Amino acid sequence: MSDLNFLLYLSLTILTGIVLLNLLRRKQNTLNLPPGSMGWPFVGETIGYLKPYSATTIGAFMEQHIARYGKIFKSNLFGGPTIVSADAGLNRFILQNEGKLFECSYPSSIGGILGKWSMLVLVGDMHRDMRAISLNFLSNARLKTKLLKEVEAHSLFVLNSWKHNSTFCAQDEAKRFTFNLMAKHIMSLDPGENETEKLKKEYITFMKGVVSLPLNFPGTAYRRALQSRSTILEFIENKMQERITEMEEGKVNEIDAAGDDDDLLGWVLKHSSLVKEQILDLVLSLLFAGHETSSVSIALAIYFLQTSPETVEQLREEHIEIARAKRQLGEVGLNWDDYKKMGFTQCVINETLRLGNVVRFLHRKAVKDVRYKGYDIVRGWKVLPVVSAVHLDPTLFDHPQRFNPRRWQNNGNGSTSLVGTSSTTNNNNIFMPFGGGPRLCTGSELAKLEMAVFIHHLVLKFDWELLDPSDQPSAFPFVDFPKGLRIRVQRRDTVYI
């Protein structure tokens, strides 16, 4: 009897198995996955995808795959099946549907180094809360009242140290500017002080690990970076402890410690309920997000402008006009109205971000089965919106490889150089240097302000030439000048009237 039961059970199980398998196969067959190749087991096509290439191109991997499969294709990248998108519409669709159909999903090595509370890896409510803090900290009101002054002071701190007819690495100088600015704004560290310099040194080791292969063995860049991470966290923790002690003493002495609100650390300690570990990761990742990207953008602007003397001429006209008007009014220091007059400069900034593509692609995954333009994107698959491929698409931008800031002029009423875009709204759909949707870069306005103010004083005070024409921006995929962009500068006469 029990034998019979067992047989019955067995055949039922087998039957169900067959039915399920068939259903699954039928589903697979009816799925319309994009074309593409899955490459080798496990590594897939990752090595080809990450191979360094010129930053003003999309690289051989993307070129070959788009030519063969179209702008949406499947692959196997970063250890899993992946949909790669060079399609402006799909990229936008992915970013807009964050949290609904797709979700941020960076490789675990990024979490290991930036921390599990880093904004780049958080999703859901925790991400929303952290984002609110960073938005508050980078609000337009703060930009106008506080940050503009700081940005100008830190630009001048760096530019005034440049000697007539001297040579140096422009990329390092740009880093010095953006790092000093962030260190001041986040923890009230002053430029040039020992502790600021020490932190900056540690940070360079840290960055080398972020951009390296995540191999955690003694002697690797990744391992050294993990050690740097602990050193940096210790540093931040000390600062935090100092601050807490100050605040407590302030209370005892009944001194109003309102000044502490001035930097992020003070603000977070007073107004948020984050625990120590969360604050450390937040500070570390803001320092990271806030200085690498904008310093590379400034180096790129210095590089691109050299290739276009007529652009530098037009920029100078704009900035000399602003400086002259200020001199006549007897004003010192840029204000928000001056910034709003930098219209052509904004074109230069957009063009630099379009051609240089500091952030080339984002990491997402599908959290539901999604159908887009007839293609199926399977739940759990990785999805990579490649924003750089859209910015360098010849069907969207006329001669995309050319640095031409004028293509952004009058873009509200039918530009000739932005092919197929007739309004600013359309423009926003294809131009996404800061990502988009609920995770749009919270530092985008600060980044533009940093670039504009630095460019203002740069073109007023200096002429510059590149010393090594072979030192071109490369994508590793992090954009970088391999030799640091060496330049020679000459001081200009600064009499405008």
Ligand X SMILES: *[C@@H]1O[C@H](CO)[C@@H](O)[C@H](O)[C@H]1NC(C)=O
Rule CB under 6 A: which of 43-72 touch ligand X?
none
Encoded one letter per residue, x for contact with ligand HEM by CB under 6 A and - for no contact, window 56-95 reads ----------------------------------------
Structure tokens at 200: 């900056």
* Residue with Cβ nearer ligand HEM (45 or 292): 292
For residue 334, state whether it binds ligand X (rule: CB under 6 A): no
72 binds, among ligand X, ligand HEM, none (CB under 5 to 8 A by kind): none
Among 5, 29, 30, 194, binds ligand X (CB under 6 A): 194
139 binds, among ligand HEM, ligand X, none (CB under 5 to 8 A by kind): none
* Residue with Cβ nearer ligand X (150 or 195): 195
Among 59, 209, 214, 435, binds ligand HEM (CB under 6 A): 435
| Interface segment toward ligand X; rule CB under 6 A; list 223-231, 290-298, 381-389, 408-416 | 408-416
For residue 235, state whether it binds ligand X (rule: CB under 6 A): no
| Rounded Cα gap, residues 145 and 151, in angstroms | 11
Least distance between ligand X and beta carbon 364 (Å): 20
Q: How many CB atoms lie within 10 A of CB 281?
A: 24
359 binds, among ligand X, ligand HEM, none (CB under 5 to 8 A by kind): ligand HEM
439 binds, among ligand X, ligand HEM, none (CB under 5 to 8 A by kind): ligand HEM
* Residue with Cβ nearer ligand X (208 or 316): 316
For residue 362, state whether it binds ligand HEM (rule: CB under 6 A): yes
For residue 443, state whether it binds ligand HEM (rule: CB under 6 A): yes
| Interface segment toward ligand HEM; rule CB under 6 A; list 246-254, 259-267, 293-301, 463-471 | 293-301
For residue 297, state whether it binds ligand HEM (rule: CB under 6 A): yes
Least distance between ligand X and beta carbon 13 (Å): 58
**Nearest residue to 90 via CA among 363, 358, 375:** 375
Encoded one letter per residue, x for contact with ligand X by CB under 6 A and - for no contact, window 347-386 reads x--x------------------------------------
For residue 414, state whether it binds ligand X (rule: CB under 6 A): yes
Least distance between ligand X and beta carbon 413 (Å): 4
> Strands 80-85 and 382-385, how do they pair?
parallel
For residue 339, state whether it binds ligand X (rule: CB under 6 A): no
Among 175, 229, 439, 456, binds ligand HEM (CB under 6 A): 439
224 binds, among ligand X, ligand HEM, none (CB under 5 to 8 A by kind): none
Among 253, 413, 425, 470, binds ligand X (CB under 6 A): 413
The three-state (H, E, C) secondary structure of the chain, written as one string: CHHHHHHHHHHHHHHHHHHHHHHHHHHHHHCCCCCECCCECCCECHHHHHCCEECCCCHHHHHHHHHHHCCEEEEEECCEEEEEECCHHHHHHHHHCECCCEEECCCHHHHHHHCCCCCCCCCHHHHHHHHHHHHHHCCHHHHHHHHHHHHHHHHHHHHCCCCCCEEEEHHHHHHHHHHHHHHHHHHCCCCCCHHHHHHHHHHHHHHHHHCCCCCCCCCCHHHHHHHHHHHHHHHHHHHHHHHHHHHHHHHHCCCCCHHHHHCHHHHHHHHCCCCHHHHHHHHHHHHHHHHHHHHHHHHHHHHHHHCCHHHHHHHHHHHHHHHHHHHHHCCCCCCHHHHHCCHHHHHHHHHHHHHHCCCCCCCEEECCCEEECCEEECCCCEEEECHHHHHCCCCCCCCCCCCCHHHHCCCCCCCCCCCCCCCHHHHHHHCCCCCCHHHCCCCHHHHHHHHHHHHHHHHHHEEEEECCCCCCCEECCCEECCCCCEEEEEECCCCCC
425 binds, among ligand X, ligand HEM, none (CB under 5 to 8 A by kind): none
Applying CB under 6 A, which residues contact ligand HEM? 104, 119, 131, 134, 138, 286, 289-290, 293-294, 297, 358-359, 362, 433-435, 439, 441-443, 446-447
Contact residues toward ligand X (CB under 6 A) are 165, 194, 346-347, 350, 408, 410-411, 413-414, 424, 428, 431
